[in-house]
Amino acid sequence: MSKSKTLPEAQLPPKWQLVAWQKKDEQDARIPHEWRLHSLPSSSVTNYTDIPRKCGLLSKEELEVTEEYDATALADAIRDKRLKCVDVASAFCKRAAIAQQLTNCLTEIFFDDALKRAQELDAHLASGKPPLGPLHGVPVSLKDTFKVRGYDASIGLASLAFKPAEENSILVDCLLNAGAILYCKTNVPQTLMALDSHNNVFGRTINPLNTAVTAGGSSGGEGALLAMRGSVLGVGTDVGGSIRIPAMCDGTYGVKPSWERIPYAGQEGGALPGASKIGIPASAGPLAHSMRDIDLFFRAVAEQKPWLLDPDTVPIPWTSLTSTSSGGQKLRIGVVRRDGVIDPHPPIARLLDEVKVRMQKASIEVVEMDITPLFLQCQSLANALFGIEGGNAMFDLLEAADEPLSPWISTRLKRKKPIDLAKLQELHGKREQLRKEFLQIWKDKHGEIDAFICPVAPHPVPPIDRYNGVSYTSSFVLMDYPAGVIPVRSFTKEDMEGEMSTTKPLGSWDKANRELWTDFDRSVYIGTPLCVQVVAQKLQEEKLVEAMSAIDRALVTQRPISAKL
């Protein structure tokens, strides 16, 4: 009999703790001994991104594969037989293992399966057959919500651990059919409702760019893994900002599509079936190192005709970047500076000016847009629709393993009575009216507006557990507009300048936001990414990617390009 069984019941660890120990032991066992770091960085080291290059575990060839290629370049090199799938997969598995030891970004690890599939894909090409699809041999990482047959989709909840999925999520099958190699899943916050990725089972994910600030959530593990170059293409989900916030925090590209564009079926979100149909549906989308990889993801998925597998996915083929030119017509991009709920910090306001000037120099027509009368209505309505079920399904899962709430969530989430039908109908009525009114913003007296830029957040990347409101991201989920993030540059000492208005805050959210700037050590922001968000009309993902790509090209002289383009 084990010692734990001889202890009085009051002294036994809670169920969730036992599960957490087992899951962490399982993780540890799946990292080969020869891939282990000899030592971890001291507390004085706050940027981990150079460690894979200096630790001695990666060969020159592995460093080149993981650092000098984007997904598109890898796919081309594999197709041309300049690189082998097994060498690429091994390099990214090893680098992901290093990233996990430094940032705690992974949940499920299936390196052995990945290497076996890589060998099969190499044999496929060696036999003279064409590639399976656009992602043949490209390693792809997944947020933990995605189900992969034979592995947990616990989303950091003890009660869902050790219950391996019996079938894949629809998008997982699409990626496999396109030739992708899946090798790991990534960490999320408890309940998926936080903006910093911490849970009791796997722990907290660290931002490798600056360990003092958040890696973001809820796709925070994806963001950290990409920042460490442990992934060349990742897939997250977004219902309030959960792709775009980690993209901002970790300096990657990321896109939240309209919810009907990419298959979402078959994921684990801790909710009961059908819950999204009465609230706000989430979207699945890519995080990447280049805009052409964003394009590659959409094309690869669309070629699998996912609408034949997921009834919510609209049957729209992907029109790639090379086919979406405006026929010589100049792009018209709007600039939206504030939402009327939370005013941006000075460096965020200045960043919009910088991007505006860059766009104008690149012959993009820029249109100033003041949409605050509509924009300010979104946050409260989105929050109401997020909470219609009262969180009861999630609390049932937590209580099944005697699991406490994470500290940040504990002051913000509690069981509530589900709202009644009349109130639900009222909320959806308001949403439909607001969506109708929003249509007017896409045209002015000079013509149509293709997309607009705005902040991702009203503040730079904040300290751990200090991310403020999500009005700049959740609003576009409410509207079902596709939206993406472009990294611009890093925060510098010069960006510490400027003061907030001395007028009365707009409200509690604005007050909390000012506390991240006024009487605050702004030096914590130095070296963190500064990004902008780009938004387009519903189901206009091609237009969004076209606009993002044009803006990215306009910015390219301002920051280094890490991908081999």
Residue at token pair 């094309």: 299
Ligand-binding annotation for 218, yes or no, is: yes
Backbone angles phi and psi of 53, in degrees to 5: -75, -30
Buried/exposed code over 491-508 (b: 16+ C-beta within 10 A; e: otherwise) = beeebbeeebeeeebbbe
Give the chain's radius of gyration (CA, Å). 23
Residue 248's closest CA among 221, 223, 225? 223
% helix, strand, coil for the chain, step of 5: 40, 15, 45
DSSP lists the bridge partners of residue 335 as: 368, 453
- Residue 159, preceding peptide bond in cis (omega within 30° of 0): no
DSSP 8-state secondary structure symbol assigned to residue 494? G
Find all residues with CB under 8 Å of 117, minimum gap 6, and list them. Answer: 89, 181, 182
192 marked as part of a ligand binding site: yes
Beta strands in 299-341 (DSSP E): 332-336
Is 240 annotated as contributing to ligand binding? yes
Residue 216's closest CA among 188, 176, 184? 188
* Beta carbons of 345 and 460 less than 8 angstroms apart: yes
- β pairing state of 181-186 and 253-256: unpaired
Nearest to 65 by CA among 40, 83, 81, 42: 83
102 is in an annotated binding site: no
Distance of CA 242 to the CA centre of its chain: 5
DSSP character for 213?
B
Contact criterion met (CB below 8 Å) for 168 and 216: no
Annotation-wise, does 366 bind a ligand?
Answer: no
The residues assigned a catalytic role are 143, 218, 242
**Is 90 labeled as ligand-binding?**
no
Length reported for the chain = 565
The total of other beta-carbon atoms located within 10 Å of residue 448's CB is 10
Residue 514 one-letter amino acid: R
d(Cα 396, Cα 510) in Å, to the nearest integer?
Answer: 33
Rounded to whole angstroms, how far apart are CA atoms 358 and 356? 5
Q: Please tell me the distance from the alpha carbon of residue 170 to that of residue 81, in angstroms, as a whole number.
A: 29
Q: Residue 252 corresponds to which tokens in the numbers above?
A: 């990657």
Residues at the binding site for substrate are 192, 218, 239-242
Residues at the binding site are 192, 218, 239-242
